[in-house]
Structure 1
Amino acid sequence: MEKNEILEALSALAQETRLDVFRLLVRAGDKGMLAGEIAQALECRQNTMSTHLAIMNRAGLVTNSREGRSIRYAADMEGMSALLTYLMEDCCDGRPELCSPVLNVLAMAKETEGAV
């Protein structure tokens, strides 16, 4: 990812509702949720939620697919993985023990994802 893409993703997540949306969609898994379901779950007006989802889509944090007149959203785990990789790639400075707890959690999550 380029630096401007990283900044866009971080900016998108630096807002309370959008952070809640991302976490909700991570819990929903590959199935994702319809936009209306997301708005209802987070007690947010649908037009406001549409704006949040558009920002997150442009930032590479969610994917969408049309289902008739509705749009289903899912967390873009590849986008989040690229963001985390960018943030973590230079963190250890020759001391892998500093990053190993985070990397272990990510590795376990990836294994769990592959087992489903």
Structure 2
Amino acid sequence: MEMMQAVQSLSALAQESRLAIFRFLVAAGPEGMAAGSIGEKLGLPPATLSFHLAGLTRAGLAHSRQEGRFVIYSADFEGMGRLLAYLT
């Protein structure tokens, strides 16, 4: 991992809502969770949630997949591992 990617990832996690979303995605595991369910659990409006999920995705900490009419988000465990490896 390059320093700039690490800075981008750490910057994404430095925001309270994004950190809460990321922790929730990590707890959900590799199967992830539908965006609507994440918003309900964390009490975030859809537009706010979408903004923060996009930030986590750009930072390499989350990814999404389409399942029918739902968008499922999950933590990018490989990205998280690269960040941890960079920090140690």
TM-score in terms of structure 1 length: 0.74
Structure 1 moving runs of 4+ over 6 Å? none
Once the two structures are superposed, the pairs formed by residues 33-72 of structure 1 within 5 Å of their partners are 33-72=33-72
State the 1:69 CA deviation: 2.6
Residue 30 of structure 1 corresponds to which residue in structure 2? Answer: 30
2:60 partner SS: coil
Instruction: Give the whole-Å Cα distance in 2 for the aligned partners of 1:38 and 1:81.
Output: 23
Specify the code of the residue in structure 1 equivalent to 2:16: E
Matches within 5 A, 1:53-92: 53-88=53-88
2:2 and 2:34 map into 1 onto residues whose CA distance is 30
Map Cα deviations across residues 44-102 of structure 1 (whole Å, 9 max, x no partner). 001110000000001000011012232100011100000010010xxxxxxxxxxxxxx
| Distance in structure 1 (CA, Å) of the matches to 2:78 and 2:30 | 12
Aligned to 1:95: none
Letter in structure 1 aligned against 2:15: Q
- In the TM superposition, residue 30 of structure 1 has moved relative to its aligned partner by 1.2
| Structure 1 vs Structure 2 CA RMSD | 0.7
TM-score normalized with structure 2 length: 0.96
Cα deviation, residue 31, structure 1: 1.1
Whose RCO is larger (CA < 8 A, sep 6+)?
2
Structure 2: runs of 5+ lacking an equivalent = none
